Structure 1
Amino acid sequence: MDRTEMTALIVVGVMIVMDYATGLLKAVMQHNISSTKMREGLYHKAAFVAVMFLAEVIERAQQVIDLGFSVPIVVPAAVYITVTEVSSIIENLGEINPEIKGSRLLGLFRSDKESGAE
């Protein structure tokens, strides 16, 4: 595993933990803690971990076995998961602190397409 892949895996892990933590904080703040939602969230996070594991296995297999294709898979999977998690973290932060929901601070994470610019 090269440095880029290792960094991608670490970033995904950190984003998963941050999303779960901000989601839990939001639930505590709203007095809406649900073990069912928490369990569901953990299942979703476990699926992301499984996707990363699968990507790593396929990427390693490409080096040994002719699978008919050879493409980098770990980093693109990590990027997709990271973008998904960042989006969820931003939503959670906006619910935790409504003052920052429409602020320039969170606006740094929005794309031009989201704000309606073309």
Structure 2
Amino acid sequence: MDKAEITALIVVGVMIVMDYATGLLKALKNHDVSSVKMREGLYHKGAYIVVMALAEVIEHAQHAIDLGFSVPIVVPAAVYITLTETTSIIENLGEINPELQGSRLLTLFRSTKTEEE
């Protein structure tokens, strides 16, 4: 495993924990803590972890056996998950503190690109 892969795995892990924590804070604030919702959230996070494990296996298998292709997969998978988790964290933060919704602070995390770009 190279440094980029290790960093990608760490970033995904941190983002998963941050999303779960902000989701829990949002539920506590709204007096809406539900074990069913928490389990569903854990299942979703578990699926992301399995995706990253699968990406690791496939990426290393490409070097050991001829799968007919050889492309980096760990970092792109991590980027996708990180962007998904970032969106969820921003949504949670906006619900925890409504003053943050539409604030300059959270706009730092939004893309200014249009679909045409």
- TM bracket, shorter-chain basis: over 0.9
Q: Residues of 2 paired with 1:112 and 1:9: CA distance? A: 27
The amino acid of 2:100's aligned partner reads I
Partner of 1:13: 13
Q: Does 1:97 align with 2:92?
A: no
Matching residue of 1:32: 32
Q: State the Cα deviation string for residues 68-101 of structure 1 (Å, max 9, x = none).
A: 0000000000000000000000000000000011
Moved more, 105-114 or 20-29: 105-114
State the distance in 2 between where 1:55 and 1:32 align: 35
Q: Deviations over 1:11-33 (max 9, x none)?
A: 00000000000000000000000
Q: Name 1:22's counterpart in structure 2.
A: 22
Whole-angstrom distance in 2 between the partners of 1:35 and 1:101: 27
Unpaired runs of 5+ residues, structure 2, are: none
Distance, in Å, in 2 between the alignment partners of 1:26 and 1:87 is 15
- Deviation of 1:112 (Å): 1.6
- Secondary structure (helix, strand or coil) at the match of 1:99 reads helix
Matched residues in 2 for 1:58 and 1:94: separation?
37
Q: Secondary structure at the match of 1:46?
A: helix
- After TM superposition, list the pairs within 5 Å mapping 1:96-115 onto structure 2: 96-113=96-113
Alignment RMSD (CA, Å): 1.6
Runs of 4+ in 1 over 2 A off after TM superposition: none
How far did residue 111 of structure 1 move? 1.1
The alpha carbon displacement at 1:113 in A equals 4.4
Percent identity over the alignment? 78
- Report the number of matched residues: 117
Deviations 1:49-68 (A, max 9, x none): 00000000000100010000
TM-score by length of 1: 0.95
TM-score, normalised with respect to structure 2: 0.96
